[in-house]
Every structure is written in structure tokens, then in C-alpha cells.
């Protein structure tokens, strides 16, 4: 592993088309809230970055993306064959800085990203000082109820301790006058982390759903803040940039909340926190967008 090392990843179409397919009974996509046209190309770029760092298995306990500055181009379509390339730009003892981009066969340039990837030791962030890690975030009473692991909506059969694989609940908007706030179930992440249809590898093996889930929630919340009625089918808004920091892994034992820090006066940007079921902030993002005609 050295500065200048590169890796290329190719992904066949299929996953975005699946997640964007509409569930007729509810009129929303299977992957509601995941923002697959944006997060799947990013996840493939992350796999290329890990490959450039020598990770032959993207799930091995060695590296994890700590932060990313992402410039978005087109939204990927379900027909895109995605190619991602990554190059190691700088290395230190504890982290690496990688440039990556993704391109679609039908949609052209999808994104470019500058990634800080940190070393892991036993599943812990080796490069994260104790003071960097977040404490518990105060929640409104309604939010707290939504992210409670014991809530009815996130209950697990105690006899089997298994979450239903194909349960897919939509994000819910929480009423608040102070900020935009949505609650999400970890259903899509749970689906992507399991093999389906007889395959031996997880459905989302190359797209890193534990990071993509909260990232998609932040993007969804930004689209709501931008005024989109249906954030999974944005009409007027195009996300152009996201600066993201992953603070902690997101647990799958309950719902989580994504919220803007406040109802920002800036009409083209929002700062968003994603809070896990344990009340800790797992991701912080600043998302920028443009509107049609801008």
C-alpha cells in the first residue's frame, strides 16, 4: 500500500432498480429514504477506495470511512453500469486520504469524493480521539419515543431474535416548529446486509449499508428541508454537495432520527444530525442543493 495506488470497481445494474421499484400498496419505492441513486454510487466508490488501500474484502476490519466531501453530478438510473475509481493521495500512521469518483454508463459522471479513511482496531476507531466521539443527544419527547428500542414498531420476536427481513416501513415526518425531523426504521439496511434469492453474499455487499443508511436519511431530510413533497422522487431539487462525518456505527436495534440543526434561513443548504436508537449522534452532514432554474 502506497501513495498512488489505485483500484477500479465495476457494478452491474440491478440494485438501484430494485430499491427504486415502487411498492404499489403504498406508492413509494422499496428503498424509501435510502436515496439509492446517490448513495449506491457513493458506496461503490468507497469499495474502490478500500481496494486502493489493499482491502480485498470490503467488510474486513481494517479501514472505515471517517469523512467525505462529495460533489454530486447526475442521479444514477436503474440502467447504469457503475464504474468507480479511487487513488490514494496521502497516507499517515492512522489514516489515509483517497480521491474517488463514480460514473454511470447511462447517466455519465455521478460523483467525485475526497475521503478520509481511518484505521480500525478491533472494531474501534483507532484515529478518533475520545473527545471527538459524541455523547447522547437531547431529543424531543416524540423523537425519543420514535427511537426507543422497545417501541412496538421496532420489536423483535424474542423467540428468534430476528427482525423480519422484508418488513419495509416508510420514513415518518415528525411535527416540530424548530426543525425538519424524520424518523427511519433500519429495514433497508437489514435487507441489504443479508443474502437473498439463494445468493451467498449480502445484497448490498459493495455499497456499505451501515454507512449508507444514515447518509441516505440525511439526504432525504435535506430534500424535505428544500421543500420536496416526495423526497424519494425530487422534482425541483438537485443535491450538489455533501460534507459528511460518520461518528459512530449505527445499530439496527431500533428506529433512528435525522433532523436539521434548525430551520435554516439559507434556502440552499442544511446541517443535519442523524441520531441512533441509543440517543447518540452517528452522523453529521452539511448538504447543499440547487433548484430548477437556479
Q: How far apart are CA 106 and CA 90, in angstroms?
A: 32
Task: Please classify residue 240 by burial: count the beta carbons closer than 10 Å to its beta carbon, then call 0-12 exposed, 13-18 middle and 19+ buried.
Answer: middle
What pLDDT, on the 0 to 100 scale, is given for residue 171?
87
pLDDT digits (tens, 9 = 90+) for 92-136: 888 999 999 999 999 999 999 999 999 876 554 444 443 444 455
Report the C-alpha dihedral over residues 217, 218, 219, 224, rounded to 10 degrees: 90
The full length of the chain comes to 294
In DSSP terms, which residues pair with 95 in a beta bridge?
Answer: 118
Tell whether the model's pLDDT for residue 264 goes beyond 60.
no
H helix runs in 130-281, sequence order: 141-146, 187-192, 209-225
Q: Are strands 256-260 and 63-72 parallel, antiparallel or unpaired?
A: unpaired
Tell whether the model's pLDDT for residue 166 goes beyond 90.
no
> What is the fold, at CATH topology level, of the domain defined by 6-121+135-291?
Thiol Ester Dehydrase; Chain A (3.10.129)
Percent of the chain with pLDDT over 70: 77
CA dist 2 → 85, 90, 246 (Å): 16, 8, 25
Query: Residue 75 — pLDDT band, cuts 50, 70, 90?
Result: very high
The answer, as to whether pTM is greater than 0.85, is: no
Tell whether the model's pLDDT for residue 82 goes beyond 60.
yes
Helices then strands, each counted (H, E), the chain: 5, 14
Amino acid at each position: 500500500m502506497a501513495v498512488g495506488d489505485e483500484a477500479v470497481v465495476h457494478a452491474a445494474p440491478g440494485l438501484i432498480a430494485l430499491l427504486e421499484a415502487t411498492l404499489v400498496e403504498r406508492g413509494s419505492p422499496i428503498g424509501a429514504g435510502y436515496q439509492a441513486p446517490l448513495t449506491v454510487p457513493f458506496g461503490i466508490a468507497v469499495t474502490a477506495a478500500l481496494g486502493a488501500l489493499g482491502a480485498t474484502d470490503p467488510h474486513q476490519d481494517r479501514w472505515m470511512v471517517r469523512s467525505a466531501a462529495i460533489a454530486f453530478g447526475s442521479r444514477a438510473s436503474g440502467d447504469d453500469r457503475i464504474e468507480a475509481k479511487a487513488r490514494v493521495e496521502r497516507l499517515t500512521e492512522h489514516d489515509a486520504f483517497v480521491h474517488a469518483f463514480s460514473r454511470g454508463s447511462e447517466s455519465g459522471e455521478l460523483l467525485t469524493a475526497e475521503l478520509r479513511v481511518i484505521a480500525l482496531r478491533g472494531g474501534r476507531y483507532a484515529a478518533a480521539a475520545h473527545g471527538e466521539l459524541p455523547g447522547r443527544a437531547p431529543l424531543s419527547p416524540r423523537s425519543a419515543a420514535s427511537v426507543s428500542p422497545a417501541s412496538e414498531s421496532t420489536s423483535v420476536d424474542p423467540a428468534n431474535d430476528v427482525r423480519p427481513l422484508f418488513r419495509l416501513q416508510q420514513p415518518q415526518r415528525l411535527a416540530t416548529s424548530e426543525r425538519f425531523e424524520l424518523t427511519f426504521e433500519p429495514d433497508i439496511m437489514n435487507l441489504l446486509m443479508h443474502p437473498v434469492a439463494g445468493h451467498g453474499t449480502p445484497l448490498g455487499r459493495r455499497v456499505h449499508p451501515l454507512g449508507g443508511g444514515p447518509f441516505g436519511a440525511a439526504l432525504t431530510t435535506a430534500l424535505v428541508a428544500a421543500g420536496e413533497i416526495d423526497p424519494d422522487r425530487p422534482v425541483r431539487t438537485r443535491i450538489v454537495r455533501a460534507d459528511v462525518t460518520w461518528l459512530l456505527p449505527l445499530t439496527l436495534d431500533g428506529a433512528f432520527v435525522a433532523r436539521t440543526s434548525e430551520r435554516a434561513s439559507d434556502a440552499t443548504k442544511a446541517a443535519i444530525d442523524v441520531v441512533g436508537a441509543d440517543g447518540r449522534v452517528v452522523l453529521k452532514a452539511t448538504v447543499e442543493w440547487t433548484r430548477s432554474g437556479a
